């Protein structure tokens, strides 16, 4: 049995930047560091950082940091209201919002300003409730962005009048969504338009889009695929399903202890890969554990 690690798997640039910034702060001994939400959707990596002193908060815990303490905004970004609340509380902010996400936030504000006065709409292909999506939707007034997760939800919004195809629409995607899914939503919405203009913005992160193509080839070239990611990783769920469509012998785990011996045959070519939130060290740990199964 041979075991190979996908060279393209591992943290994306935005996550690397956020984690490196947190580590530098903690190494400097500059005081307690809070993170607004999990800095990465991977339980193993989060535990490692918390063991070094990172304190993870949700929005309901924002009263915890005292005036003058430091809070990190993770790569997903936040809406303007959060920054204002932190400013009023006197909390120091280290902003690690991914530059790609920052650019998308700006584009959504500009698109809303263009189309809303004439009754047009901004539609976002994304996962409802995802931290990045909450930050994107929060860039404009409540109800200013309509979020759909798939073609079925798009058709529902068209059917109930939430999306009005007789007015101009600007369509965006969350940065980590499936390129194939975005094409399907775009095609369906284009077919529904009635005398108005649909403007489609290419806002899926290019690193994520490349990962889809590379991962399909990686899954095809192995007999068994072990996909490693946190259970809360939206990107992980999308990429694991992508592997499974190409290779039915795809197994999703969070850490090495979840491996099962009966998934493997002695002559298998095993591929280990992961999400943009999966650390390289965890992929290496899983690959080592597989080699020790037989």
Neighbours of 109 (CB within 10 A): 16
Q: Burial, 121: exposed, middle or buried (Cβ in 10 Å; 0-12, 13-18, 19+)?
A: buried
Residue 197 corresponds to which tokens in the numbers above? 């203009």
Q: Which of 132, 142, 149, 214 is catalytic?
A: 132
Structure tokens, 49: 């950082």
Are the C-beta atoms of residues 72 and 33 closer than 8 Å to each other? yes
139 contacts: CB under 8 Å, gap ≥ 6: 79, 80, 105, 108, 109, 112, 145
CB atoms within 10 A of CB 78: 24
The number of helices, as runs of H, and strands, as runs of E, in the chain is: 10, 12
Active site residue 132: yes
Which residues fall within 8 angstroms of residue 27, CB to CB, at 6 or more apart? none
Rounded-to-integer distance, Cα 113 and Cα 144, Å: 10
- For 21, how many CA atoms within 13 A lie in the half-sphere containing its CB? 23
Residue 45 to residue 95: CA distance in whole angstroms: 20
Quick check: 6 and 280 in contact, CB under 8 A?
Answer: no
Question: Which positions are catalytic?
Answer: 132
């Amino acid at each position: 049995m041979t075991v190979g690690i996908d060279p393209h798997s591992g943290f994306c640039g935005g996550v690397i930047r956020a984690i490196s910034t947190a580590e530098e702060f903690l190494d400097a001994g500059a005081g307690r560091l809070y993170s607004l939400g999990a800095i990465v959707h991977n339980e193993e990596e989060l535990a490692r950082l918390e063991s070094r002193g990172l304190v993870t908060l949700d929005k309901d815990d924002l009263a915890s940091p005292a005036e003058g303490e430091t809070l990190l905004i993770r790569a997903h970004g936040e809406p303007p209201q959060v920054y204002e609340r932190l400013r009023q509380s006197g909390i120091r902010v280290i902003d690690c919002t991914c530059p790609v996400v920052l650019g998308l936030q700006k584009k959504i504000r500009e698109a809303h300003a263009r189309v809303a006065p004439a009754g047009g709409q901004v539609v976002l292909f994304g996962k409802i409730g995802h931290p990045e999506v909450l930050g994107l939707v929060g860039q404009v007034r409540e109800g200013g962005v309509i979020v759909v997760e798939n073609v079925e939800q798009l058709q529902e919004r068209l059917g109930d009048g939430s999306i009005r195809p007789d007015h101009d629409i600007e369509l965006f995607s969350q940065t980590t969504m499936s390129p194939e899914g975005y094409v399907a939503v775009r095609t369906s919405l284009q077919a529904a338009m009635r005398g108005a203009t649909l403007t489609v913005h290419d806002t899926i992160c290019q690193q994520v889009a490349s990962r889809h193509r590379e991962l399909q080839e990686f899954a095809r070239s192995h007999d068994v695929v072990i996909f490693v990611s946190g259970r809360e990783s939206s990107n992980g769920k999308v990429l694991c399903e992508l592997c499974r469509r190409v290779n039915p012998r795809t197994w999703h785990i969070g850490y090495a202890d979840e491996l099962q011996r009966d998934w493997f045959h002695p002559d298998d070519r095993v591929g280990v890969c992961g999400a943009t939130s999966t650390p390289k060290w965890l992929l290496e740990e899983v690959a080592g554990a597989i080699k020790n199964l037989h």
